[in-house]
Amino acid sequence: MAGRQLATQEKRRLMGRILVSLGFLGLIADLAFLAQPLERLAQKLSEGLFSVVPALGLSVLNAARAIAFHQIDYFSLISRILVLFLALVAVVAGAVLLNSRHSVSIRGDR
């Protein structure tokens, strides 16, 4: 009985490790997508605080124009956001599987 529980917990921990690894791999693979807006914001901040507000307004207008006239780009953006969200969910689920209370108590019994 204890051997079966131990084997189940080892499988759960292995699945947790796999999910965390795949999640971080997905996040790192799409890191350039996250860095582009931050790079532009840093450039605007170096020019001064007064240039940030107009830049934000123009970026909202550009996003609205892209959504209205270029739906294919919009769906591409949604798919990238979905990939990042799923990668984050995989990391959280893997962390939960790795640190479940039951697996901690079994590791303590060894």
CA atoms within 13 A on the CB side of 78: 8
Residue 50 lies in a domain: no
Q: Can you say whether the dihedral through the CA atoms of 9, 11, 15, 20 is positive or negative?
A: positive
Where is pLDDT greater, at 49 or 91?
91
The CA angle 22-27-32, to the nearest 5 degrees, is 145
* Domains of the chain: total: 1
CB within 8 A of 67, min separation 6: which ones? 74
Residue 81 lies in a domain: yes
Residue 45 lies in a domain: no
pLDDT band at 102 (very low <50, low <70, confident <90, very high): low
Q: Structural domain of residue 25, as residue ranges?
A: 2-31+59-109
**If you average pLDDT over residues 61-81, what whole number do you get?**
75
Instruction: Compute the distance between CA of residue 76 and CA of residue 89 in angstroms, rounded to an integer.
Output: 20
pLDDT at 39 over 70: yes
Residue 104 lies in a domain: yes
Q: What is the pTM of this model?
A: 0.56
pLDDT band at 89 (very low <50, low <70, confident <90, very high): very high
Residue 78 lies in a domain: yes
